[in-house]
Structure 1
């Protein structure tokens, strides 16, 4: 195939190969600007003399085109009207290493593999030691040397690597890898499927990787010359306007990542499950993306109609709004027309109001409820119990087990609650609880926890009526109608056919009871995603005991597509040696959790004063002048710090906006908020400030070490999860800063600190 002749169409379609944008963004800004102009000119007329498009010697499809005086674009010619941009390189590096450039159609996945061996091996050199020299160029040894390191994949044959879909030119290189650093250096520049196979192969046997990673994307009868079919199986982006490439480069693939489903995840989306199913995995592994694609899959399978038969829910307003925006980007308004999107407390409120439309009670959050508890303790002079303990006992034991009497509380289970209490203690606590609920009634208030419990009871009663009607219909030889007549004479049915839950680890028992009753038990009824390492509320549940049976229908994602390896490694250290559950009574680990991205090491800074800490925050944001302010976030432990940081940034001329319970207050500026506000959000660069003793965790937690050790451990663990969540919101860069004594949660990370 040669360069198109004058008879070819003038305008062409230009595609961008995945990972190419990550290389372009590393170039100097003037060169990136030249790339923007180049793509505009090339799409308009690739034969323009100024572009100097020409076929590279020894390559049938690979061409070069002029970006500026020093840089060239490398493009694969797919058809007369379609091109694939695979690299932008200095012209010297193009023409001196033509024999190191390789491309072809992967005979396993059917996608296009482009490999620059020079770049791959230089990546290995930066991350580890140089790859072994070819045998012909090795000097003859004069004396025995140290024992050669064992290759990482010594147990895997070249034939097996090929069967797994490893790019053919890289198979000899893979055989020489001896350290994880070399492996990660190779993965950074290898085709995506090759990287995923190799990372998974470090933790699992060949047979398992074949089934879990390769089989889902395997293509039969691949035509090695059909590049038009191959490009449809390749992770590319079509550039149709001048803004397309710019948005990809400026966002560093961030927007596309938020809806992109990797082929290896597709099987989780399209599988038919015999009942509730769960997908777990660490931050950035694509759990939410899987959930969103699952929603689209379920909607696509619905018959004609306009009713909203699929529910998507999560635990707060911010996340629900984000899910709506991402689902709209993924499937458009047609998908949203069949989907109900609501956070669980909003859903519970709707159920209760439907049953009691005349209620005028105001809802209060946990912070306001805790203040009410403190007022009761002040009024009664009670010092034996603290407000946090009473609040926890009321929500987790009394409301959690739907206890509605003193006798019922005496019988309630408290396994794992920590502090041991006697029968007399229970009597005192019940008396205080009655006083608390009476106080709320007098103020015409109710908590979201109370609403959730009432909603659960209402939905359970509703489901029981439906089941009774179905049994009666079956016994009378009817048509098996699952509808039931309500008191108003209206016909009822289960509210939804399918429910999809995001951030499942933070839902309370009452939420699960309500959701379970909203959908008929059966195939594909409930699909949930979550990670208990990111649990930031004390909602510990065993789903099986609540009727949500996921055993045998759980899967785990292990590759992070968002957070760099360097940030991930530091974040995992924040978790310490804590044990985490899998939402169904067993332990959960992050074993095998890896990142496919590389970046800089997190910056750790200790300052001498709060003023110096504010200065450090300001200086860091100014240093990040190459990205949009909205892609930067400052995370702090308290609301007071939000106010103080905002004031300092304003004084320094930096626009910022606070993240509230309803999302960012404004559309522009650096995002600032407390750690709780960042759950489920993502940023290119992140500062976590105030990471010091007494704030992370809060000082009151330390006091529990002596008075309530079990509760101390639970609060300490929750603080770890909160810091872990904050750290993994960053994709490219993370800065940790504090003044005074560092948080004990930092561990050996504190020793890495630079003083300022």
Structure 2
């Protein structure tokens, strides 16, 4: 029986051919000597290992045969038309990089023609504004890049000499350049040290072993962490089928870059935070972290949680995609691995608490055991409290936004239950200052709010999370056990104080207790609260990802531009940068298109969708039209239908179905991705929503605008390949352009 390694991208064949390729590889694994495979070596070659095999009368597979061990090992490099397959097999070389020890498939020059790699990486004339090439600034030379990393001098020279962003991107994303080399150049250009790059790719001091055959060296090189960027080993028939059928739009969702592996597998003495921009792979690391802990700590209880049910469902799907055999559940105590939204976790803890435990929690959180939690409160109760109480608060303080944030970030976070406690509690992090008299007036409203909610048997979602935390803390104080040994948190930037109280209560402090993935630039809900306030210490245990795997460099530049000049801080209130985000992918520039009317903007959107849909191989459900509000969703769906474009509305927990483009709010799109995205209605009246800013104080208004900017950034980074931004009338101020 033969073993097979597949090269990334080699299985990108259409549906009619995919089954034949899979059948060919099945038979190859089973018996590579079968006459029906027609495995033939090349008469002229640059690599004696090169072979082709018959897929059907028209197509042949390109293979490289290694003899290293008791069974033959084939590297599958793709299926091509007969003549093209022969040419590729004759001119390709599977080799070990002499410096890094990484396996590479490179093209050798054909006699009488120019070297294809040279043609591929020649830098074009600068087409964009002049920029400071980070490689030049650091003093890197082509010879040094080869000596230290094994990057060919021709490729290194093209990168070092690049005079524009476009020129540099052309080098690092070219198909002739192995992916690990492109990523190394991107990181070096962005300012990472050579040592950091080596560590990220797993490059040590490679020493050639003369006692091993060339095939044995190649077999070993294919196991290198960085080789896995381009080569996937198929252990058996099931692996073959999975790889062939699943290399698609969803690939990157579970792909772990070698530089990220350390974060997924390394043991920590306590809580650890991983930050990074949209598309940098934080969620992928979190998923792999859950699998690693499950595999290596078989008796442990693991929670993988996030902000919403929709995001939790996505996490569960991707955990299943990564390891179909890993048992998981969204219910506590049903499986060793629980994947659930944080509010669902709170509700489950509370529902399972005894009446005595609930009474004790009410006393801790609300100051009285005489309460109930049969329904959920909202801003309506704040409005009622303001109407019932005679107060002297100005409009900037007498509104549900300020009061709700104050109650959550100060009162609930510190378990304040009476006026004296509120008058003395520190308010660090709150932008609006309150003197003693104002605190007294605010507490009057808070008391009324609590009284109204108690009369209705209602608590807010943040209160429920705090109550659940109090239940767990009481159990632990009575020598009870915490529910989990390891908790992994995704989208942590949106978690509020109640959530953090609960997270700390779910797992005891200790080794590998909390793994926190977050991006302050994507905070579209909630308020920042220092983690140390909840007994979560991450000082010295925090790292940041900067390489984007989802979005093209052009789309990323636009999205990051939305954040420029605006101060962002992380969950520890430390300044967070965005200028060093980089992408390893290239594509068309975003299209910014203003129209005279909504009707013409709809015409424009319909035109884009029709043009994209003309591609027979394109999946319509990978087109996303994102808008600011739910009302806009309905308007766009009906407007596109009138123009002959059928789309699907996705809201709440509803999942998108195949074969139709998707229309949803920007909030609903959080955690999702599309190949093509239209940001519709990004006009001055829609972003930011003007009514939402009414009567807000300066600090609250500033934070609301920051969240609107983050929302637009989130929406823009949903696009993998193409991005269109449209509006009618005047554009949003957040775009930073004129009318």
TM range (shorter): 0.7 to 0.9
Per the alignment, residue 647 of structure 1 pairs with 638
* Partner SS, residue 668 of structure 2: helix
Question: CA, structure 1 residues 63+152, in 2 after alignment: closer, same or farther (shift >3 Å)?
Answer: farther
* Partner SS, residue 578 of structure 1: coil
Per the alignment, residue 550 of structure 1 pairs with 538
* Partner SS, residue 342 of structure 1: strand
Q: How far, CA to CA, are the matches of 2:662 and 2:180 in structure 1?
A: 35
Q: How far, CA to CA, are the matches of 1:83 and 1:97 in structure 2?
A: 16
Q: How far, CA to CA, are the matches of 2:464 and 2:89 in structure 1?
A: 68
C-alpha displacement at 1:154, in angstroms? 3.9
Q: How far, CA to CA, are the matches of 1:216 and 1:663 in structure 2?
A: 45
Match among 135, 160, 166 for residue 151 of structure 2: 166
| 1:256 partnered with 2:268 | no
C-alpha displacement at 1:657, in angstroms? 3.7
User: Contact conserved, 2:125 with 2:163, CA < 8 A, in 1?
Assistant: no
Per the alignment, residue 711 of structure 1 pairs with 700
Question: CA, structure 1 residues 129+614, in 2 after alignment: closer, same or farther (shift >3 Å)?
Answer: closer
User: Contact conserved, 2:123 with 2:168, CA < 8 A, in 1?
Assistant: no
Match among 502, 511, 523 for residue 535 of structure 1: 523
Match among 442, 448, 455 for residue 442 of structure 1: 455
User: Contact conserved, 2:551 with 2:721, CA < 8 A, in 1?
Assistant: yes
What is the TM-score of this pair, normalised by structure 1? Answer: 0.80
C-alpha displacement at 1:509, in angstroms? 2.1
Question: CA, structure 1 residues 119+459, in 2 after alignment: closer, same or farther (shift >3 Å)?
Answer: farther
Which piece of structure 1 moves more, 370-379 or 499-508? 370-379
C-alpha displacement at 1:375, in angstroms? 4.9
C-alpha displacement at 1:176, in angstroms? 4.9
| 1:361 partnered with 2:353 | no
Which piece of structure 1 moves more, 448-457 or 220-229? 220-229
Per the alignment, residue 510 of structure 2 pairs with 522
Q: How far, CA to CA, are the matches of 2:409 and 2:506 in structure 1?
A: 22
User: Contact conserved, 2:621 with 2:657, CA < 8 A, in 1?
Assistant: no
Question: CA, structure 1 residues 742+114, in 2 after alignment: closer, same or farther (shift >3 Å)?
Answer: same
C-alpha displacement at 1:563, in angstroms? 1.1
C-alpha displacement at 1:215, in angstroms? 3.7
Which piece of structure 1 moves more, 86-95 or 523-532? 86-95
| 1:184 partnered with 2:169 | yes
C-alpha displacement at 1:700, in angstroms? 2.8
Per the alignment, residue 552 of structure 2 pairs with 564
Question: CA, structure 1 residues 82+212, in 2 after alignment: closer, same or farther (shift >3 Å)?
Answer: closer
Per the alignment, residue 346 of structure 2 pairs with 348
* Partner SS, residue 84 of structure 1: strand
* Partner SS, residue 215 of structure 2: coil
Count the aligned residue pairs: 680
Q: How far, CA to CA, are the matches of 1:19 and 1:42 in structure 2?
A: 15
* Partner SS, residue 634 of structure 1: strand
Question: CA, structure 1 residues 398+329, in 2 after alignment: closer, same or farther (shift >3 Å)?
Answer: same
1:185-334 → structure 2 map (5 Å cutoff): 185-188=170-173, 189=175, 190-204=177-191, 206-215=193-202, 224-226=214-216, 227-233=218-224, 234-235=227-228, 236-237=231-232, 247-248=245-246, 251=248, 254-303=249-298, 305=299, 309-334=301-326
* Partner SS, residue 672 of structure 2: coil
User: Contact conserved, 2:472 with 2:482, CA < 8 A, in 1?
Assistant: no
Question: CA, structure 1 residues 220+36, in 2 after alignment: closer, same or farther (shift >3 Å)?
Answer: farther
CA RMSD of aligned residues (A): 3.7
C-alpha displacement at 1:270, in angstroms? 1.9
| 1:424 partnered with 2:437 | yes
What is the TM-score of this pair, normalised by structure 2? Answer: 0.82
Q: How far, CA to CA, are the matches of 2:547 and 2:6 in structure 1?
A: 23
Question: CA, structure 1 residues 708+49, in 2 after alignment: closer, same or farther (shift >3 Å)?
Answer: closer
Per the alignment, residue 650 of structure 2 pairs with 659
Q: How far, CA to CA, are the matches of 2:325 and 2:197 in structure 1?
A: 38
Question: CA, structure 1 residues 335+261, in 2 after alignment: closer, same or farther (shift >3 Å)?
Answer: farther
Deviations 1:511-566 (A, max 9, x none): 22222232222221111111111111132021123211111111111211111111
Question: CA, structure 1 residues 53+162, in 2 after alignment: closer, same or farther (shift >3 Å)?
Answer: same
Question: CA, structure 1 residues 120+317, in 2 after alignment: closer, same or farther (shift >3 Å)?
Answer: farther
Question: CA, structure 1 residues 333+18, in 2 after alignment: closer, same or farther (shift >3 Å)?
Answer: closer
User: Contact conserved, 2:42 with 2:48, CA < 8 A, in 1?
Assistant: no
Question: CA, structure 1 residues 604+511, in 2 after alignment: closer, same or farther (shift >3 Å)?
Answer: same
* Partner SS, residue 660 of structure 1: coil
Deviations 1:365-412 (A, max 9, x none): xxx712343455567798832332222222223223322112222223
Q: How far, CA to CA, are the matches of 2:440 and 2:704 in structure 1?
A: 26
Per the alignment, residue 601 of structure 2 pairs with 613
Q: How far, CA to CA, are the matches of 2:320 and 2:135 in structure 1?
A: 50
Question: Which segments of 5 or more consecutive residues in structure 2 lack a partner in the other structure?
Answer: 109-114, 128-132, 329-334, 359-370
Question: Which segments of 5 or more consecutive residues in structure 1 lack a partner in the other structure?
Answer: 1-8, 131-147, 466-483, 485-491, 752-756
| 1:722 partnered with 2:722 | no
C-alpha displacement at 1:265, in angstroms? 1.4
C-alpha displacement at 1:70, in angstroms? 9.9
Deviations 1:481-527 (A, max 9, x none): xxx2xxxxxxx222221111111111112222222232222221111
User: Contact conserved, 2:272 with 2:515, CA < 8 A, in 1?
Assistant: yes
Question: CA, structure 1 residues 174+104, in 2 after alignment: closer, same or farther (shift >3 Å)?
Answer: farther
